[in-house]
Structure formats: C-alpha cells, structure tokens
Amino acid sequence: MTAIGVLATAIVIISAVAMWWLRRQQVAHRPRGGTALADATRRQLTALYAAVKRNVDEPSWSPSSVASAHGTAAGVEAALKREQCAEALALAEHAVAAAPRDPQAILLLAWAAVVGGHANAAGAAVYKLQAAGQLEALGPLGGYVAARARHLVFEQRAGATEAVPPLITAGDVAVVALARGQGGPMWMVGEVELGLDGDQARAAINEHRLETLACLQQVLDAATAEPTFVDAVYWVARLAIKAGLVDDGKALLTLIAPRMVGRPDAAAFARDLAALADPTAAFAAATKPPPPVPAEPPPLARGKRSKSLRVL
C-alpha cells in the first residue's frame, strides 16, 4: 500500500503542476501532438550532436562573455562556478534592486535561483520576463534558464528537492508504471481517496511527456544557438532521456563528458551516468518514500529573503 500511495501521489502532483505552471501562469506555446513533436525534436537533437562534435575543441561559451551582458553577470557566473549559490543570488538581487525592470538583471536572478534550487523564485522571475515579452531577446541564457526553471517547478511539485533532481524521479517512475498498466481503475489512498481510470492515466502520461518535451525544446533551441554552451547541452541530454529519447540523450552525455570534469555539476553528471548504467538502483532510489513536507516553505519561496525579491 505504501508503494501504491507514493505512486498515486506522484501521479496526482504531475497533473496538478502542469495545470499550475501552464494554465495559471499562462505559459505560452505549449506543444501538442507528442509523436510529431518527438520526431522533430529527434532531428534537432541529431543536428545538435553534429554541431557539438564539430566544436568539441572550442572553448565553452560563457554567458558573461557576451558584449551586451549585464555588468553583474561575470560575478554571478563566477560565484556559480565556485558553487557559492547564495553569493550569486545576493549579487543578482542587488542588480534587481538597483534596476527592478532591467530584464538582464531579472534573468541573472532567475539563473542564480534555479541553480540554487529555488524553483518558485526562478519561476517568478522567468514569468515576469515572459509576461513583458522580454525573454526571447535574452539569447541562449534566457532559453536555458527558462527551460530549467519551468522543469524544476514541475519536478519539485512532484516531490523532488534537489536543484538537479535525479535522472529518474518518483514522477518518472509513476508515468512508466502507468504506461505499463494492466488496465482498470487505480485506487489511491492518502489524504484523499479517489480512483484513476484509464482516461485519467493516459492524461497523466500525456501531461508528463508533453511538459518534458516542451522544456526540452526550449533548452534545445538555446543549445543549438550556442553548441559550446555546456550547461544547455547537458540539460538537453537530461531532458531528452526523460522524454524517452534515451539514445539521443546518452550520445550527448558521452560527447560532453570531457567538458564536465571539474564543473560544479560534475557530481550530478556522474550520478546520471550511474543511473543509466544501472537503472534498477536509480529506480529503487526513486521509489523510496519522500521526506516529510516542512510546515512552512523556505523564506525564499515566500518571497521574503530580501527586499529585492518583492519586485517579482
């Protein structure tokens, strides 16, 4: 019963987060037609792989190296490379406080927040940029941050807690289990008791796949624009695997492996490779009961970490 309860809870959360992030926040351009989209995405993944391979000896692209980059971008990027996310967030918050309507400052705040695992703050900053029609003009960093923030909100509302959730999460396991379902209603016991019929199960599977593909497409566009943007290429690979394009994702991970040495996300990268090498261990970890939910959200999620976040 415990496993069923955990599975069912993850399924419900998957559907709820799609409704919240896409409809309540009115995120535009949600893709429809999973099969056609997957085919188009696979072709773009093949093109990206070729571009990354052609540029394998080129220096990695740095967001702060762009001539139009915000004056604080170098400091934020340097702090993130040192794994000092709190420092990066403080720098970005000061930039927003100094110019609350500056899209580049808001993007820096979203970047620092999402790398630090603060999904709500990152999502709020990205939504502010989207609502103002400013996101597309912010280049590859804008696309990368937006995709990662969107997916982190999705993952955390499905029970994940890390800034880089495992490659195989409880939500992913739930969808796989549903896809292999034996038919008939599924009964869930928890705070509420309800049934999940075949149509609802198919809807949950579809929501998960389309949302993952939407995030993949956004970060794929960013990586295509800058094939040496290692952060974006890494997340393309992760999201491709989560979307079911496993071979394409694994090929990209193998290709960028030499560039991942010494990076702040090197440990997450190694964990991903281990999950691919032994999916059974990753599956077992994903099916463990989630930790208790704290009584109150962390200060940042309440928008009270500092005065500058209140502009969001």
Annotated domain spans of the chain? 2-311
Spatial separation of the C-alpha atoms in residues 125 and 298, rounded to whole Å: 17
The structure tokens listed for 111 are 């970047």
CA distances 159 to 170, 243, 286, 289, Å, are 7, 18, 10, 10
Mean pLDDT for the stretch of residues 135-141: 95
Q: What is the pLDDT of residue 62?
A: 97
Spatial separation of the C-alpha atoms in residues 14 and 17, rounded to whole Å: 5
Spatial separation of the C-alpha atoms in residues 252 and 224, rounded to whole Å: 13
pTM over 0.75: yes
- Find out whether 281 and 168 touch, Cβ atoms under 8 Å: no
152-187 confidence digits (pLDDT tens)? 998 888 778 899 998 888 777 777 666 665 444 443
Confidence of residue 195 (pLDDT cuts 50, 70, 90): low
Counting every residue written for the chain, the total comes to 312
188 DSSP assignment: E
Alpha helices in 59-197 (DSSP H): 73-81, 85-98, 103-115, 119-131, 139-157, 170-179
Q: Which residue has the higher pLDDT, 180 or 211?
A: 211
- Find out whether 94 and 72 touch, Cβ atoms under 8 Å: yes
Q: What is the pLDDT of residue 289?
A: 64
